[in-house]
Amino acid sequence: MSIQAIRLPKPSADECHDRVTDIRGRFIGQCFFVENDLIILQLLDQFSTDDPTFVGSIFFEAEGKLRKKTLGAHLASAKAILTREFDSNEISSLLDDLTELVEVRNVLAHSPSWVIPINEASGPTAKKKQITIGFCPEIANDKHIWKIDETQVIEWLALVERCKRVGAYVPLLRGRLNPPKEKHDLGGFPMGIIIPRGDPLGHRAPIHIIAQTQLPFRASEN
């Protein structure tokens, strides 16, 4: 009597759950850089500078309040700044991408996911039956259902990269403002962290905590 080999589903349900955990971390982690630039835009709009040495301790108070807000709230505030300062046709596609980013980020941060079976027919033509050959994770909000396959992951990560274009408007807005001229003595308080570009955890190069540098966070240009 022959023994038929068992074909295990690939990817398995556990592998699908691992995929969802991975993309949640990757996507939300990359969203930080977009959110940080939105915060800088708001600080520039409020103080005409993002250098706390020209503002004083109230800069840190304002920044602290901003960092407690949601990405959607940052988008609403930054949208008003961008549409006021720049050509609406120029930034329309960026604002559309940022709106989509908020939706996807909220889904990945707050919504549960599940797996659906991928089935195919097996056996003689007259007696075909469906067997499960794999699984695919899905996630949804009240408007959409997303199938989290490789194509979708690539599209989501590309969306984040497009949204990072908002960082290009930080120096443009800075150049349009008249910053304060008088510096404040902040008592040598460490005011920023320079993290070497390409090495966010500082494994290959030290993290230098220095005084009298700009906040909020930005990666080193080196």
Could you give the 3-state DSSP secondary structure of residue 177?
A: coil
What pLDDT score does 213 carry?
Answer: 41
- Separation of alpha carbons 114 and 148, rounded Å: 10
What pLDDT score does 151 carry?
Answer: 93
Q: What is the pLDDT along the chain (222 residues), one digit of tens a residue?
A: 444 444 556 778 888 888 899 999 999 999 999 999 999 999 999 999 998 888 988 998 999 999 999 999 999 999 999 999 998 888 999 999 999 999 999 999 999 999 988 887 665 665 566 788 888 999 999 999 999 999 999 999 999 999 999 999 999 999 999 988 888 777 655 545 444 454 444 444 344 443 334 445 444 444
Please give the single-letter amino acid code of residue 144: H
What pLDDT score does 123 carry?
Answer: 59
Tens digits of per-residue pLDDT, 30-51? 999 999 999 999 999 999 999 8
What pLDDT score does 185 carry?
Answer: 75
What pLDDT score does 122 carry?
Answer: 61
What's the token pair of residue 191?
């005011």
What pLDDT score does 205 carry?
Answer: 39
What pLDDT score does 14 carry?
Answer: 86
Please give the single-letter amino acid code of residue 49: T
Tens digits of per-residue pLDDT, 200-218? 444 443 444 433 344 454 4
Q: Model-level pTM?
A: 0.76
- Residue 141 CA neighbour count, 13 Å, CB half: 11
What pLDDT score does 91 carry?
Answer: 93
What pLDDT score does 211 carry?
Answer: 38
What pLDDT score does 13 carry?
Answer: 83
119 secondary structure, DSSP code: E
Q: What is the CA radius of gyration of the chain?
A: 24
- Closest CA relative to residue 43, chosen from 174, 203, 135: 174
